[in-house]
Amino acid sequence: MILEITKRSMIGIAFGGIFTFIALTIMKLNNLESTVSEIWMHMGASMLLGIYYGLSSYIFSDGEGSYLKQTIIHFCLSLTVYFIIAFTVGWVPLNWLAALLSFIIFVTIYSFVWFGYYSYYKKVESSMNEHLNKK
Number of domains in the chain: 2
> Average pLDDT in the 88-117 region?
95
107 shares a domain with 85: no
Same domain, 20 and 81: yes
Compute the average pLDDT of residues 38-64: 87
The reply to whether 77 and 107 lie within a common domain is: no
Query: Cα–Cα–Cα angle for 39, 92, 30, nearest 5°?
Result: 50
Confidence band, pLDDT 50/70/90 cuts, at residue 46: very high
First to last CA, the chain: 36
What's the pTM? 0.81
Q: For residue 10, which phi and psi values (nearest 5 degrees)?
A: -65, -40
Residues 6 and 26 both lie in one domain? yes
DSSP 65: S
- Provide the pLDDT confidence category of residue 87 given band limits of 50, 70 and 90: very high
User: Do 81 and 30 sit in the same domain of this protein?
Assistant: yes
Cα separations (Å) of 116 from 3, 63, 130? 28, 21, 21
Which range marks the domain in which residue 59 is found?
1-91
